Structure 1
Amino acid sequence: MISKLSVSCTTFNILAPIYKRLSEKDQSCRESQYRGYWLSRNERIIDRLLGDRSSIICLQEVWMGNEELVDMYEKRLGDAGYISFKLPRTNNRGDGLLTAVRRDCFTIIDYREMLFNDLGDRVAQLLRVESVVPLWQGCSSSINVQIIIVNTHLLFPHDASLCIVRLQQVYKILQSIETYQKENDLSPIPIILCGDWNGSKRGQVYKFLISQGFVSSYDAAHHYTDSDADCHRWVSHRNHHGNICGVDFIWLLNPNNSRKPLRTSWKESAFAIIKVNNLSQTLRLRTEKVLHKGISLTICSLLFQYLLQAASLSEENAFAFLKADSPGDYITYPGFCQALHQLGLTGHRDGLIPEDAKDLWTEADIDGNGMVDHEEFQQRIWCPSPTWSEHPQESIELGTEWGSNTAKPVALGFSVKDAVLFPPEVEEGMWPENYSLSDHAPLTVVFSPVNLSFSPQSF
C-alpha cells in the first residue's frame, strides 16, 4: 500500500526590499530605506509560510545584504522545525535564494550550489533529501523516498537577446543534475524544480522543460494545457512595468517520464529563439529604414503592425539576413556567426559561447558541406522538425541505474494532488490591488506518492 503521507512544496519570490519601489514618481525610493516597512512585510510573509507548513520552502529574492532580515528567516524557520540553506547571487547583487526543509519530513543527504557567474549572476541550489518515514510500504518492504530539489531564479528578459541566457541557465541546471546523478551512481529519482522562471508558458524555457519530461504542477493539477486558451488562466506576478503574467513554477520529473536527449532539446529551443529574434531584427531594421526616409511615426507604427501580421511571410527575409554577404544562395559559417552577433546572442558575457554557436551550425549544416542552403535553413532553423535524430550516447535509459547496464524497476514517484496560488484572484488571471506581500504570488503544490514500478521491456 502507498502511505497516506504527502509532500508539499511552496515556491515564493518574496521581492527583495532593495527592488521594491515605494513611489512611481521617485524610482530611487525603495523599501530598503525604511526598516519598519520591510520588517513588517517580511514578518507577514513568514507568518504565511509557517501557516502553510510546507515540507519544502523555496524562496527567491531574499535580501542577503541585510543580516537582520536573513537572521529573522533562519531563526523563525529554525524554531518551527526547518533546516535552511541560503545562497547569495554572485557579484554582490544583494539578493539570493533560501531553501528550507522540514526536519520531520526529510533528512538532507547532500547540498550543492550552482553559480552562474557567466550567466546573469544567477544561482541555483540543489538538495538531495530522503523522507524520514517510508512513503511506500509493501508486504515485505518499505521505501524512504529520495528526491532532488532545485531552487532558482532566472534572469529577467529585459530584451529579446536575454531569452537565450535564460535558456542557457536552465540547460546548465539540467546538465548539473545529470552530472550529479552520474557521479553518485544514482538510480533515477523524482526531481522537483522550483522558482521564478521569469518566463511564461509561451516561452522556450517552458517548452524546453516539457521536452525534458517535466510537468508544470499547477497546470497538471488544474488540467491546463499549453494552448493559447489556457495561457492566461492564471498569473503569479505583476512586474515593474505593471504587466501581469504567470512565471512561477514547480516542475516535477518522475523517473519514468520519457525525455529527449538534453543537448537535442537545447538546440531546438535555441533555434526557435533565433527565429523569433531574427524576425524582430528584420522588423526593427525595416522600421528604421522607414524613419530614415522621413515618414511620420504614426505611419511607421502602422507599418510595423502590418509587418508583425505578415511575419509568417518573412522567411526569405530571414534567410537573406543570415546569408549576409555570401556570394551564393547559401549561408556560410562566418555569416551565421555575424547574424548571431547582430541578434544580440553572442558578443557579450551572457551570450552564447563559440562552442555553442559551432554546435548550432553543425546541427543546421545537415550534409556537412560547410554551407546551409535554403532547404537546410527551412528544415533546421525556420521550421525545425520535432523529430531530429537523437544521439544514443546522450540518451537516458529509463528504469536503469546511472552508470549501470543492469535494468532495475523504478519504485516510486509522485502525482500532483493539488496546487494553489495565493491570493485566489490570481487563479482567475487577475491581480488584486490590495495584495501587498510581494509582486509575486506564492505557489504551493501537494504531491502524492505513486508506484512507478515497471518492466524495462515494456518500453
Structure 2
Amino acid sequence: ALGGAGRAGAGGGAARSEATAGSARYRASENGSGMGAGEDTVGSSRGGGAAAGGGTQATRLSVLTFNVLAPCYKRVGPPVPREPLEASLGAPRPRRAREASDPATWLARQRACIAEIEAARADVCMLQEFQLDNADFVSLYEDAFAHTYEMFYARRPGKADGLCTMVRREALRVVGGGAHSVTLVPKGDRVATILAVQRRGDARTGTGEGGAAGAPTLLLCNTHLSFNHGKLWDRRVRQMQAAALTAALRRRDAELAAAAGGGTGVADAYVIGGDFNGDREEFVFKHMIGWGYEDAMGVTCSTDGGVVTHLTHNGDAIEADYFFVLDRGDTRGGGVTKGEPRSRAVAFASSELLPQGLSNTAWPDEHAYSMSDHRPLKAELDWLSASAPVDTDDARAGQVVPAEAAHAVF
C-alpha cells in the first residue's frame, strides 16, 4: 500500500548540534570521508558513464546508505553465563541488556554515526534502523541535519524503528507530492521510502504532482529487507520483498507519469539504496541484476576478494548494503534497437566504504570501528541532461561538470 511518509519540518528550525564522536574508538580516522556534490574528483578505479553529444552535461551527485543500529536492538555487556544445571538441561542463555536502557552509551554511539554522516557530505542519505519511537533519538538527528536536509520517515508496522531519508535542500528538490511509504509484503514488516527528485536550479523544475514536464527526474528509494535466518519461509519472504520493491518503483513512476499527462514514466533512473541483508550469491541480489539494475561496488570497484559491509548477530561478516541503479534513459522513449549504443542518463562514478582507511574485505577490529554493525556505503553518480542546471544562490547546488569529463560508456 502507498501512503504519505513522515517528514521533518521544512526550514530546519531546530538548532544544529555539533555531533562529535563520544570516544576515539568510534572513529578510525579523523579525516573527512567523502566528497560533496559538485566535486569532480573520482576515487574509483573504474566507473560507468554516458555517451554525450553537443552540450550535454553531467551533474555529480553523492548518495549514502547507513544502517545506524537502533539502540533498541543493540545488545550491551558481556554474555551472561548459565548455571551448570541450566546448561545441562539446554536452558537458553539469559539475554544481555539492550543499549536503549543506557542513554549515555547510545547517545555517544549515535553522535559518532552523525559525525560520519556529516563528514560524508552526501546529497542524499538513506538511513536504516532509525529508532522512531524515541523522541530523543529523532531530535538528535534533526538537530544535526534538519537545517540542511529535508528529512522523511517511514516506520515499520508494529516496530520501533524504520527508515530516515534525507535530501540536501541546496542540491535537490523533492517533487511529486513528497515521499511515499511502501509496505513491501504483509509478512516481514519491511518498508521502503520512494522520492521523486529534480535538480535544484533547473529552470524546468516544477512543483506539481509529477514535477515539471520534461524536467530530469530521479526516483530514489531507501529500504531494509528481512534477515535470512536459514528458514525456508525467510527465503520466500525475501523473494517477495525484492519483487515488491522493484514493482513499487515501476508503479510509482507510472503514477507520476499519469499525473504529468501520460507516458510510461518520468524518471531518468531509479536509485535504490539500503540494507538488503544478503550477499551477491543470494536471490535478492540476482533479482536486482536480472531486472537490469547495476550495483555501485560492482561497477566501480573490484569485488573479487569479497566485500564486507555488515557483521551479523551470528558473527558472520557479509556484504549486505548496496546501491543499485536502473538507467531508464533508453527505455522512456520506447527503447533502442539491440546492438545500438545506449544513451545513458545516470551512471555510477565511484563508491567507497566509510570510514576511509579500513579494509573492504574484512570486518574491522572493534577498536577501529564500533559505531554500528554496518559500515556506511557512499556512491557518486553522474546525472546527464541536455540542459545545465543553474543556481547562483546555492554554492553547492549540484555543480555541473562537462559530460566529456565523465567516464566512457561501458
Which bracket does the TM-score occupy, shorter chain normalised? 0.5 to 0.7
Do 2:276 and 2:321's aligned partners in 1 also have CA atoms closer than 8 Å? yes
Q: Is 2:238 the partner of 1:172?
A: no
Which of residues 173, 177, 184 is equivalent to 2:256?
Answer: 184
Contact 2:329 2:343 in 1 (8 A): no
| Cα distance change, pair 24–199 in 1 and its aligned pair in 2 (3 A) | farther
> Per the alignment, do residues 23 and 447 of structure 1 end up closer, same or farther by CA in structure 2, a change over 3 Å counting?
same
1:248 to 294, 298, 321: 321
Q: Deviations over 1:287-313 (max 9, x none)?
A: xxxxxxxxxxxxxxxxxxxxxxxxxxx
| Runs of at least 5 residues in structure 1 that lack an aligned partner in the other structure | 137-142, 225-229, 258-397, 403-409, 453-459
The residue identity in structure 1 corresponding to 2:242 is V
The residue number in structure 2 matching 1:234 is 307
Are 2:214 and 1:147 equivalent residues in the alignment? no
Q: Which structure 2 residues correspond to residues 25-44 of structure 1 after superposition, within 5 A?
A: 25-26=79-80, 27-44=95-112
Which of structure 1's runs of 4+ aligned residues deviate more than 4 A? none
1:22 and 2:76 are equivalent in the alignment: yes
Task: Pick the aligned partner of 2:175 from 85, 104, 109.
Answer: 109
- For residues 402-417 of structure 1, what are the structure 2 equivalents within 5 Å? 413-417=345-349
Deviation readout 1:298-331 (Å, 9 max, x if unpaired): xxxxxxxxxxxxxxxxxxxxxxxxxxxxxxxxxx
Contact 2:300–2:349 (CA<8 Å) still a contact in 1? yes
Change in CA separation of 1:66 and 1:401 when aligned onto 2, cut-off 3 Å: farther
Written as runs of structure 1 = structure 2, the 5 A alignment for 1:47-446 is: 47-79=115-147, 81-91=148-158, 93-110=159-176, 111-116=179-184, 118-134=186-202, 145-161=216-232, 162-185=234-257, 186-224=265-303, 230=304, 232-256=305-329, 398-400=331-333, 413-423=345-355, 424-434=357-367, 435-446=369-380
Residues 213, 135 of structure 1: CA spacing in aligned structure 2 closer, same or farther, 3 A cutoff? farther
Q: Distance in 1 between matches of 2:230 and 2:78?
A: 22
Matched-pair contact (CA < 8 Å) for 2:224–2:276: yes
Instruction: For residues 116-152 of structure 1, give each alpha carbon's deviation from its aligned partner in whole angstroms, at most 9, with x where no partner exists.
Output: 461301111000011113499xxxxxx8531101101
Task: Determine if contact 2:125/2:166 at 8 Å carries over to the other structure.
Answer: yes
Mapped contact 1:11–1:58 kept (Cα < 8 A) = yes
Gaps of at least 5 residues in structure 2 are 1-54, 81-94, 205-213, 258-264, 336-341, 387-410
Secondary structure of the residue aligned to 1:427 is coil
Question: How high is the TM-score relative to the length of structure 2?
Answer: 0.67
Which residue of structure 1 aligns with residue 210 of structure 2?
Answer: none
Q: Which amino acid aligns with 2:287?
A: F
SS in 2 for 1:183: helix
Does structure 1 conserve the Cα–Cα contact (< 8 Å) formed by 2:276 and 2:322? yes
**Preserved CA contact (<8 Å) 2:184 2:245:** no
**Cα distance in 2 for residues equivalent to 1:43 and 1:433:** 17
Q: Give, as a single letter, the amino acid of the residue that structure 2 aligns with 1:97.
A: L
Aligned residue in 1 for 2:30: none
C-alpha distance in structure 1 between counterparts of 2:203 and 2:224, whole Å: 30
Whole-Å separation in 1 of the counterparts to 2:162 and 2:250:
24
Question: Cα–Cα, structure 1 residues 181 and 72, in superposed 2: closer, same or farther, change >3 Å?
Answer: same
SS at 2:110 equivalent: helix
Query: SS state of the match for residue 137, structure 2?
Result: helix
- The CA RMSD measured in Å over matched residues stands at 2.6
Matches within 5 A, 1:447-458: 447-450=381-384
Structure 1 residues 38 and 250 mapped into 2: Cα distance closer, same or farther (>3 Å)?
same
Deviations 1:401-459 (A, max 9, x none): 79xxxxxxx9762221110102343413343322111000000001112469xxxxxxx
Q: Aligned letter for 2:365? A: P
Measure the CA separation in 1 of the matches of 2:302 and 2:326. Answer: 17
1:105 CA drift (Å): 0.8
Cα deviation code 1:43-69 (max 9, x no counterpart):
111111112110000000011121111
Contact 1:412 1:451 in 2 (8 A): no
Question: Secondary structure of the residue that 2:160 maps to in structure 1?
Answer: coil
Higher strand content, 1 or 2: 2
Mark the structure with the bigger radius of gyration.
Answer: 1
Give the structure with the larger helix fraction.
1
- State the 1:74 CA deviation: 1.9
Q: 1:71 to 1:117 in 2, by over 3 A?
A: farther
Q: CA deviation at 1:87?
A: 1.2
Contact 1:21–1:29 at 8 Å: present in 2 too? yes
C-alpha contact 1:2 1:135 (8 A) present in aligned 2:
no
**Deviation at 1:188?**
4.5
Change (3 A) 1:54 1:221: same
- Contact preservation (8 Å) 1:130, 1:146: yes
Q: Which letter does structure 2 place at the counterpart of 1:428?
A: T
Percent sequence identity over matched residues? 26
